[in-house]
Chains A and B, each alone.
Chain A
Amino acid sequence: DAGITQSPRHKVTETGTPVTLRCHQTENHRYMYWYRQDPGHGLRLIHYSYGVKDTDKGEVSDGYSVSRSKTEDFLLTLESATSSQTSVYFCAISPQGRSYGYTFGSGTRLTVV
């Protein structure tokens, strides 16, 4: 989607290294989310943000941290990557955070070897 971009699209990293994924939006939406998609689990919420410097944990937040210093950018950091964090990561945005269909980015495929 043109209003939301994720970078990088693909990344291979080694176990134990820190990794940062970036989500950038041009829609000025208040709410931003990070999900991971795994076979058999669908999409699971990692962290979300409801404003600049306002973030909260999702259902699978262990091993992840986030930061949002500007409305348009939401960063996801894996402090010390593990093989269990190999996944496809999606960022999503929403204008109001309630009941609206989220707009998702194209995803980042992360492989931890």
Chain B
Amino acid sequence: DQQVKQNSPSLSVQEGRISILNCDYTNSMFDYFLWYKKYPAEGPTFLISISSIKDKNEDGRFTVFLNKSAKHLSLHIVPSQPGDSAVYFCAAYNNDMRFGAGTRLTVKP
């Protein structure tokens, strides 16, 4: 029962362009959504979050959009940099945190 889904296992973009990572969820009780970034041999690190009462949250180059009616959120990275290359996990919180399977982003110089 995967309540949080990231349907794209990988994404490749050119440096300077926009990266858009997508996430869908099924449980309407989730009230907080987060994105984590993970480099090899390290633990995930918190990137950005959004409350279910908002539809957008911005932090520097990172913006998260939430569409509650579609049960969809996305992470935009503008402009993308080679150092952004990592696995990105979408997560949703109700009584506990549920994670998606991750999307591997590769930013090419």
Check if A74 is an interface residue, CB within 8 A of chain B.
Answer: no
Closest A residue, CB atoms, query B89: A42
Interchain CB contact under 8 A, A45 and B44: no
| Total residue contacts A-B, CB cutoff 8 A | 55
Which chain A residues numbered 87 to 113 have a C-beta less than 8 Å away from chain B? 90, 92, 98-99, 101-107
Check if B10 is an interface residue, CB within 8 A of chain A.
Answer: no
The stretch from B13-21, B66-74, B95-103 touching chain A is B95-103
What band does the interface of chain B fall in when counting residues whose beta carbon is under 8 Å from A?
20 to 34
Determine the main DSSP class of B at the interface with A: strand
Which of B51, B89, B97 is most buried by chain A, counting CB atoms within 10 A of its CB?
B97
What band does the interface of chain A fall in when counting residues whose beta carbon is under 8 Å from B?
20 to 34
CB-CB nearest 10 A-B residue pairs: A101-B46, A104-B43, A43-B99, A42-B99, A99-B32, A42-B101, A104-B44, A106-B43, A42-B100, A105-B43
Give A residues with C-beta under 8 Å from B. 1, 33, 35, 39-45, 48, 58-59, 90, 92, 98-99, 101-107
